[in-house]
Amino acid sequence: MEYEYIQTGDIIIGGVMAAHLSTQDIIYPNDRMMRLVCTCFSREHSKYFLDFRYAIEQTNKDPTRLPNLTLGYHIYDSCGDPRKAVRSVLQILSGTREPVPNYSCVGKRNIAGFIGDLTSETTVPIAQILTLYGYSQISYGATDPSLCDRRTFPYFFRTVQSDETNYLALGKLLKYFGWTWVGFITSDDISGEREDETLRKYLSKETICVEFTVKINRDLSDQVHLSRDSKIIQNSTTGVVIIGGTVSLIFVRKLIELTVALTKKTFILSSVWGANHYVLIFTKQTFNGSLSIQPLYPYYLTAPEDFRYLVNLHPFKYPNDTMLEDIWLMCFGCLAQTQAKNDYYKQVIVMSNCTGAERYTNIGYFQYFTFSPRVHLAVGMMSLAIDRMEVSLHHYLKDIIYYTRDGKATAFDEYGDYVTNYGIYNNIITSALVLRYNFIGKFTPWGPPEQLMNINPDRIIWKTNRTKIPRSQCSDNCLPGFRKAAKTGTKACCYDCVPCSDGEISHGTDSETCIRCPDMEWPNEQKDQCIPKIEQFLSYTNDVISVVLSSISVLFFLITLLILGVFISYWDTPI
C-alpha cells in the first residue's frame, strides 16, 4: 500500500505525513519480493490528514483567498520511515508511482510547497532534498535544532519550536522544583545523540547534573542491553527521569520491560513525547503522574464549525476520496469496496460491514486529544503566502503575518520556528486507560527571568506520592550557617556541607561561600547572621580582679619610686 492521496487543483501543496508509526520489511508469498509495509496505525496522527483536507477546503471556499484558482494536494504517508519519506517526496515531484529524480513525468503540476513531516528523523532528509529543488517546507512536528540553520535549510519552516527552546523550558521546570540530579532516557540514534548534547548544555546552565543516560535501541531481542539499562536505572538515586529522543512503539515496549526499575521514577516528557497521546496510554505504571510540556497555540480546532466538519465527513458522501476511505477503514474496520484492499487490511485488523452510523466524532482521540492546529495552521500560512506570492514562496513565508479566525497575529521567527508559549501538564491515566491532561502552568520563552515559569504545584498529582513533590538531589541541601564543599571525583551537584569558619556566616540554602562579619560584629550561634559585639567593662570596686590588678599596679609603682629615690640619694657615690 502506497497510501497516496490526491485532490486536483490549479496549485498543489505536497504533503509527507505520518498516520502509521513504523514499517516492517515483509516478503510477499506470491512473488517472494521484499516490500516495505506500514504498521502501527495511529488514529491520533491520522487526524492531521483530515486537518490538511479541512484547511484546503476552507481556502477554496474563501473568496478572498486565491480568487479564480483552486488549491489541491498530493499526500503520501511516510509511515515514520526515512526511506519511505524520501521516496514519497520524489514521487510527488515526478508525479509517478516509481520516482524519477529531477523529472516531472506528468507535465506542469504547479507544486507550490510541502507540508511535513511529523518527526525529525524523516523531516531532515526531506528538507535536504527540497532545499536542492528550492521548495518551501513547513513541518508540523520536527524539533531538530539543526533545521534552524538558515544556510543549510533556507526553505524550511515549522509550526513547532526547536529542541533548543524545548530544553530551555525543561531546565527551568526542573529548577523550579529544585531537581538538580536527573536521569535521561533517549533513543539510540542521531536524534537521541543530539538531544543528549542539547539537554546537557541547558541543564548545566541551571546547575543540574545528569546522573545517567540510557539509550534505547530498536532491537527488541537485545536482552543484554536491556538488562544493563535496568541495573543502571535501579542503582540510580535520582527520582526524576527525562524522556526524549525519537518516539516509537519499540521505545515504549522497552520502557514497559523496564517498568520495575522505573516504578519510583517520575517522568518529565519533552514536547515531542508529551504530544503523543497514543503512546502514553500503553503503560499506566510508567507515564501516570508525569509532567510534560507542549506548545500553546492561539487557536484550537474546537469551534462548532470544526465539529460539524467531522460529523459530516463520511466516505459515503465522498466515494472517490481514498483518504477518507483508508482512514475510515483503519478507524472502524469497515470493509472497502475493493477486494484487494480488504485482503491487505485483513492481515492487520478485524474487518466487517459497517452500519453507516459511525462517525469520527465518536472516536475518543478525535473527541479529546486531536485539537492541535499544527497542520491546519501550516496549510493556512502556506496558502496565504501563495496568495501573496510574486517571486519566491519562502520569501513571503519569512515575513508573513497570519491572522487566525479570532484575529490573533502569528508568524515565524528568523529561524523558521513558530514562536509560542509552552503549556505545562500533569498527565493522569485513569484505571480505564483514559489520558487526562491537567494544565498546571505555562512557560513564556521571551518573558523576564522572574516570569518565565508560572506554575500552580497544588494541582499536581504525583506518581510516587499524590501530594508530596519528589526529591531528586545528589546531596542534601546545605542549611544557613553551612557552605558547599566539593567532593573529589564526583559531579558538581554532589557535595558535602561544612560549617562556616569562625567569624563567617551564610544567609541562604546551598551557599557556595561564607561571608566574613564586619569588625564590630560577630556570627550568632547558628552562623546565619552577624550581630553587634557586646561591650563589657571592668568595675573598679566590685570585681576582685580589678582590686588585685590595681593593687599590683600601685605596688610596682611604689617599687619604681623606691628605686628612683635610691639613685637620687647616691648620685655622687662612685661605682
Q: Is residue 296 within 8 Å of residue 267, measured between CB atoms?
A: no
Beta strands in 345-418 (DSSP E): 402-403, 409-410
What is the chain's mean pLDDT, rounded? 86
Supply 156's cell numbers. Answer: 524550511
Q: Using CA atoms, how far apart are residues 419 and 157, in angstroms rounded to an integer?
A: 11
Confidence at residue 383, expressed as pLDDT on a 0 to 100 scale: 94
Q: Using CA atoms, how far apart are residues 84 and 129, in angstroms rounded to an integer?
A: 13
Backbone angles phi, psi at 188, to 5 degrees: -90, 70
Contacts of 312 (CB under 8 A, 6+ apart): none
Supply 53's cell numbers. Answer: 483536507
Confidence at residue 423, expressed as pLDDT on a 0 to 100 scale: 92
Tell me the per-residue pLDDT of 341-383, one tens digit each, with 9 for 90 and over.
777 777 777 788 888 788 888 776 676 556 889 999 999 999 9
Res 137 pLDDT > 90: yes
Q: How confident is the model at residue 481 (pLDDT cuts 50, 70, 90)?
A: very high
Tell me the per-residue pLDDT of 255-311, one tens digit each, with 9 for 90 and over.
888 888 888 899 999 888 887 776 777 777 788 889 999 888 989 888 889 989 988
Q: How confident is the model at residue 449 (pLDDT cuts 50, 70, 90)?
A: confident
Tell me the chain's radius of gyration from C-alpha atoms: 35
Give helix 190-205 / helix 120-133 axis angle, nearest 10°.
Answer: 100
In this prediction, what percent of the chain has a pLDDT beyond 90?
36
Confidence at residue 377, expressed as pLDDT on a 0 to 100 scale: 94
Confidence at residue 89, expressed as pLDDT on a 0 to 100 scale: 95
pTM of the prediction? 0.79
Confidence at residue 330, expressed as pLDDT on a 0 to 100 scale: 86
Confidence at residue 325, expressed as pLDDT on a 0 to 100 scale: 87
Mean per-residue pLDDT, 167-188: 92
Q: Which residue has the cell 526529591?
A: 471
Res 333 pLDDT > 60: yes
Q: Using CA atoms, how far apart are residues 51 and 366, in angstroms rounded to an integer?
A: 11
C-alpha torsion sign, points 229, 232, 233, 235:
positive
Per CATH, the number for 4-159+304-314+366-410 is: 3.40.50.2300
Q: Do the domains spanning 4-159+304-314+366-410 and 163-296+417-459 agree at the CATH topology level? A: yes
Among 50-59, 326-335, 371-380, name the one with the lowest average pLDDT: 326-335
Exposed (0-12), middle (13-18) or buried (19+): which is 236, by Cβ within 10 Å?
A: middle
Q: Using CA atoms, how far apart are residues 329 and 326, in angstroms rounded to an integer?
A: 5
Output the DSSP codes for 525-571: TTSSSEEEPPP----TTT-HHHHHHHHHHHHHHHHHHHHHHHHHHTT
Peptide linkage before 117 cis (omega within 30 of 0): yes
Confidence at residue 211, expressed as pLDDT on a 0 to 100 scale: 92
Per domain, the residue ranges of the chain are 4-159+304-314+366-410, 163-296+417-459, 482-532, 541-575
Q: Using CA atoms, how far apart are residues 63 and 50, in angstroms rounded to an integer?
A: 22
Q: Using CA atoms, how far apart are residues 135 and 142, in angstroms rounded to an integer?
A: 17
Q: Using CA atoms, how far apart are residues 36 and 81, in angstroms rounded to an integer?
A: 10
For residue 241, how many C-alpha atoms fall within 13 Å in the half-sphere facing its CB? 27
Q: Is residue 256 within 8 Å of residue 283, measured between CB atoms?
A: yes
Say which amino acid occupies 527: K
Tell me the per-residue pLDDT of 407-441, one tens digit each, with 9 for 90 and over.
888 889 899 999 888 999 998 888 777 778 899 99
In this prediction, what percent of the chain has a pLDDT beyond 70?
95
Backbone angles phi, psi at 38, to 5 degrees: -80, 135
Per CATH, the number for 163-296+417-459 is: 3.40.50.2300
Q: Which residue has the higher pLDDT, 492 or 76?
A: 76
Q: In Å, how far from its chain's centre is CA 309?
A: 31
Confidence at residue 42, expressed as pLDDT on a 0 to 100 scale: 84
Per DSSP bridges, beta strands 240-243 and 156-158 are unpaired
Tell me the per-residue pLDDT of 64-113, one tens digit each, with 9 for 90 and over.
899 889 999 999 999 999 999 999 999 999 888 777 787 777 766 789 99
Percent of the chain as helix, strand, coil, to the nearest 5: 35, 20, 45
Q: How confident is the model at residue 151 (pLDDT cuts 50, 70, 90)?
A: very high
Exposed (0-12), middle (13-18) or buried (19+): which is 38, by Cβ within 10 Å?
A: buried
Element of type H or E holding 395: helix 393-399
Contacts of 160 (CB under 8 A, 6+ apart): 139, 140, 141, 142, 143, 271, 295, 374, 417, 418
Torsion, CA 109, CA 111, CA 112, CA 118, rounded to 10: 160
Give helix 304-312 / helix 43-61 axis angle, nearest 10°.
Answer: 110
Q: How confident is the model at residue 214 (pLDDT cuts 50, 70, 90)?
A: very high
Confidence at residue 374, expressed as pLDDT on a 0 to 100 scale: 92
